[in-house]
Structure 1
Amino acid sequence: MSIIDTVKEALGSGPSAKSRPDDGSKGAYWCDDCDVRIRDVDLEGEANCPECGQEMRFEAATGRSCAC
């Protein structure tokens, strides 16, 4: 096997990282003070931090590499 074949094989394999779930999530709510993150599909009720009670900010998911 040549070096070119080895590179083609390595690049041709699928990504090893888990793909983004397709559950309708648009992003996550964050508490900047406590570093708490709750995905929008997991949130029940108002977007208040369960640790400190402050309102959490929404951050939209922007692609496959998003932490959401």
Structure 2
Amino acid sequence: MGLLASVKAMLDSTGSRNRPTDGSTGAYWCDDCGVRIRDVDLEGSEATHETGEPVCPDCGDEMRFERSTGRSCAC
């Protein structure tokens, strides 16, 4: 039973309580630069592409939104 208890304790420690609770639903990514900005970190004054998506602060390309569903994600 020691092995089962260890596995259960490990799974319990990675539960959903480790997820951020700030209302984030994902992040915007720049495929060229690898820059990532969480949706809750965007400010209203950020530059946006003609599609309404934010632009990368490093290269100026349109960023894409990606929703993460993993545990303990920073998104």
TM-score range, shorter chain: 0.7 to 0.9
Q: CA deviation at 1:48?
A: 1.2
Residues 1-60 of structure 1: per-residue CA shift (max 9 Å, x gap): xxx2x1122023132588221110010000000000111001113311110111111111
With normalisation by structure 2, the TM-score equals 0.68
2:59 is matched with which residue?
A: 52
2:7 is matched with which residue?
A: 11
Q: Which residue identity lines up with residue 64 of structure 1 in the other structure?
A: R
Query: Can you give the 5+ residue segments of structure 2 that lack an aligned partner in the other structure?
Result: 49-53
CA RMSD of the aligned region, Å? 2.4
Pairing 1:62–2:62 present:
no
2:26–2:39: 8 Å Cα contact kept in structure 1? yes
Q: Which residue identity lines up with residue 60 of structure 1 in the other structure?
A: R
**If you compute each CA radius of gyration, which structure gives the higher value, 1 or 2?**
1
Query: Can you give the 5+ residue segments of structure 1 that lack an aligned partner in the other structure?
Result: none
Structure 1 residues 55 and 35, CA gap change in structure 2 (3 angstroms): same
**The residue matched to 1:33 in structure 2 has which SS?**
coil
Q: How does 1:14-33 map to 2 (within 5 A)?
A: 14-15=12-13, 19-33=18-32
Residue identity over aligned pairs, in percent, reads 59
Give distance in 1, aligned partners of 2:41 and 2:32.
Answer: 20
Question: Which structure has the highest helix share of the two?
Answer: 2
Count of matched residue positions in the alignment of Structure 1 and Structure 2: 64
Question: Which structure has the highest strand share of the two?
Answer: 1
